[in-house]
A and B are shown apart, each in its own frame.
Chain A
C-alpha cells in the first residue's frame, strides 16, 4: 500500500469514549483524505486535508468527528463520545498533489474501530 501508515490497526472503545486514529501519508505527500467503510459497502469520503488546512469536510458528521493535519506529525481523525454506529473501517489516503483523474491515490491498510 505504497507507504501510507495507519495506526492503530484495530481499536476497541466503549460507548462514550474517544477514538483517535492516526495517519502518516506517503513521504512527500501533502494531501490526505479520510474514508469510512461499513461492512459489505464501498468507501465513503469523509474529509480532505492539506497541511494545517481542512479543504473539504463535507463527508464528516457534523458532531463528534474532527480531523487535523498539523505542520508536523501525522493526520488525526478524532471521534468523540463514540457510539455503536461508529464501528467501521477508517481508511486514510494520500496524494502528492490535488487529485485529478491522472493522479493515483494511495491508501493505508485501515483502522478497524469496534465500539462495544
Chain B
C-alpha cells in the first residue's frame, strides 16, 4: 500500500468545521482512501472511504483532489466528542490486503 502523510496535530474550536488533510502522492489507480478515528482508550472506528468522487455520510465528508494525490476529511461542526486521532489509510482494490498500514495519524484537539 502507498503511504500517506498527515499533520501530527490540529486544533479547532467547538462547533466550527474541521478540515483534516492527507497527502498520498504515490496513490495508485486502484487504491481506496479510508479514514478511521480512534478516541482515547478506544479501538479505531471507521469514518468514511472513497475512490474518486467526494463522499458524504452522517459522520463526515471526504473531499478527494482531482489528481487523487491528496484528500481532506471534513467534520462539518466539530464537537468535543470528535477529539481523537484520525488516520488516513490507502487500501488497494485489487489486493486482498487486510494489513492496513497505519501511520501516526492526526491528533485533533477541540477547544471549547
Which residues of chain A have a CB within 8 Å of any CB of chain B? Answer: 1, 4, 6, 31, 33, 40-45, 48, 56, 58-59, 91, 93, 95, 98-102, 104-110, 112
Interface string of B86-100 (1 = CB under 8 A from A): 010001110010111
In angstroms, how far is the closest chain A Cβ from the Cβ of B59? 12
Q: A6 to nearest B CB, angstroms?
A: 8
- Whether B43 lies near A110 (C-beta < 8 A) is yes
Closest-by-CB residue of A relative to B89 is A42
Q: Are A107 and B43 in contact (CB-based, < 8 A)?
A: yes
Question: Is B7 at the interface (CB under 8 A from chain A)?
Answer: no
Given A98-B96, A101-B49, A101-B91, check contact A44 B43 (CB 8 Å). no
- Across the interface, B42 reaches (CB within 8 A) one of A100, A105, A109, namely A109
For the residues of B in contact with A, the DSSP-based class is loop
**Residue pair B102, A48 in contact (C-beta under 8 Å):** no
Within residues 8 to 41 of chain B, which ones have a CB less than 8 A from any CB in chain A?
30-32, 34, 41
Q: How many B residues touch the partner, as a band? A: 20 to 34
* With A101-B93, A104-B49, A105-B98 as contacts: A1 and B87 at CB distance below 8 Å: no
Q: How many A-B residue pairs have CB under 8 A?
A: 67
Return chain A residues, CB-CB under 8 Å to B44: 43, 91, 107
Q: Report the Cα distance A109→B12, complex, angstroms.
A: 26
Question: Contact between B96 and A45 (Cβ–Cβ < 8 Å)?
Answer: no
* Contact A100 to B96, CB < 8 A, known contacts A41-B104, A42-B87, A44-B102: yes
List A contacts of B32 (CB < 8 A).
101-102
Residues of B at the A interface (CB closer than 8 Å) are 30-32, 34, 41-46, 49, 51, 87, 91-93, 96, 98-100, 102-105
- State the CA gap A100–B91 with chains docked (Å): 8
- The answer to whether B98 and A1 touch across the interface, beta carbons within 8 angstroms, is no
Return A65 CB to nearest CB of chain B, in Å: 16
Query: Within the assembled complex, what's the spacing in Å between the Cα atoms of A59 and B101?
Result: 12
CB of B27 to closest CB in A, whole Å: 12
User: Are B93 and A100 in touch, CB under 8 angstroms?
Assistant: yes
Q: Contact check, B105 vs A109: say whether CB atoms are below 8 A apart.
A: no
Judging by beta carbons under 8 Å apart, are B92 and A42 in contact? no
